[in-house]
Structure 1
Amino acid sequence: MTRRAAALLLGLAVLLPSLAAAAETPALTICLEENVPPLSLRRGGGSGFDLDVARAVADRLGRPLAVQWFETEADPDSSPARHLNALLADGRCDLVGGYPLTERRLEPPASPRGRLPDFAGARPEDRRRWVTLGRLIPTQPYRRDTLALVVGPAAAGLEIQHLAELRGRRLGVEERTFADAILTSYRDGMLLGEVTHVPAGPALFEGLERGETEAALVEAHRFDAWRAAHPETPLRLAAYRHPLGFNIGFVALSTAAPLVAQVDAALDALLAAGSLPRLAAATGLTYAPPQPPAIGAPIRRAMLQED
């Protein structure tokens, strides 16, 4: 055996154990919604803040990341909590990301079984199967969904501290949303005459740009997505945020409690290092940090009256 061949064999002997160990490291599989920019987007190989947080958590855990993309139904009568529980119970992923941490969304399922949502790689029979559900447990939150005021060119300089200051302004809101409930019920309907309802989708921002409305109450990340797709938009995100918001984190089945503890430690490290605002800025997300309590209480009418 030549000296060169012996050196090569020695190098392989050193390398093979590490390769075997890497091959044995299971991927951390996270379910993410496939079309919610700038949070999670399957197109173009995958992007978004929730995806970047998932990747950072997997790195902290020393595991490769795998993503199971899924799509939720637009039907307001569907049950997202039950569908996502079914993904976990069916073994499609270890964690679901971008999950609202509220008492209602974390309640034990009312029915012991549920159907799967549409997911990448699904077969026709998958949508017909019933899955025995488990109990969901949350990680700590890593961001917060907030309702923000978006201002159009008809009210370019508008800044408010209280919703009452919107009286006399033409307001846009998507029908059957929390923003709709807030604006129409505020102070016994004070703003009801100013509100124009539009269906979910681009109509809210299009109406603002045309000057049909002056301002709109909408999730901040929705405007981030509009701004990214329409960089020349005249619309502006005002400083106002409604007190009603929702912390967002990961959820897993209760049988995965040790994993949840590991993810909490990873999120602690990311928060302490200031990594999350930097990831948000890189993806075009207006970042809002989580606020206590970690798990939101059920929405009461009095909460809709706050401003």
Structure 2
Amino acid sequence: MRLLILGGTEFVGRAVAEAALARGWDVTVFHRGRHEPPAGTRTLLGDRTAPDGLASLTSDLTSDLTSDEKPAWDMVVDTWSAAPSAVRDAARLLADRVDRYVYISSRSVYAWPPAAGLAEDGPLVEGSPDAGEVPYAEAKRGGELAAVDAFGAGRTLLVRAGLIIGPYENVGRLPWWLGRIARGGPVLAPGPRSLPLQYIDARDLAEWTLDAAEAGLSGPYNLVSPPGHTTTGELLDACVRVTGSDAELRWTDAETILAAGVEPWSDLPVWIPPGELYDAMHTADVSKALAAGLRCRPVEETVRGTWEWLESIGGAAPQRPDRPSVGLSPEREAPLLSD
């Protein structure tokens, strides 16, 4: 299989590249040159937001990928999450050079508030393939529409991911918990301990996406772990075991944490107390993806893989410049530990 990744040097794109290389696929990454691409890929440089920034996708550099009348690539994977017009331009350019377009979208495309157990047929936010910079949900929906407009519904796979964690995470959620627990001592642990969580390991997302695209699947798929795949307690316990820390998890009820002004999701990453936001993030219907072969590794493997990656780069995770940093400061945590 011949795969083109728009990106391919960070987090989800890198996971897709490494999974494809492990299968023996021919992998091309189109990126801006800010990060080293995975070894074994071929590189096309360009900035899709700049005038003529897509030129390398049609240059002679692709000539060795073509034969007879075949498209240059069997599929393209696009993780773009900013202006939908960038997806539009790339998709239009590639429509006769690629068999299938895979757009890594988000469950954020569902109209708020998404009901508990929402499947792929739920109501969606408005979006436009021609939009510039817009809020995240509209950007992802616009990206979906742009891909479908250029390739048609039958040649477009829309991967609506939920919370993504795992090695190479550059948003900081699981890395923050691992760093905090590695420091040891009492740790504020948000209850309830048994609260189920849904997420997808970037490596599992990559494997499913490549399988699905190779099988010719199209349309939208919610992609997170099944409900009850793990819990808050299991996630944080795994962080303690994997880091070898002497951390003591101090389980604290949600009411106490919220009363102290601590923000779910941002101050305490991953955690959301029961309620409307929790239903939106951690109760997705993923039966369609499961029927199409989704397999999710145990939480311990996700935590261990992320910790090993962090140790390999010196412990400090990279941070995406377009996302705010997350995590509770020691000064704000301390009063809740002393009560």
- Give the TM-score normalised by structure 1: 0.32
Larger radius of gyration: 1
Q: Higher relative contact order by CA 8 Å / sep ≥ 6: 1 or 2?
A: 1
Higher strand share: 1
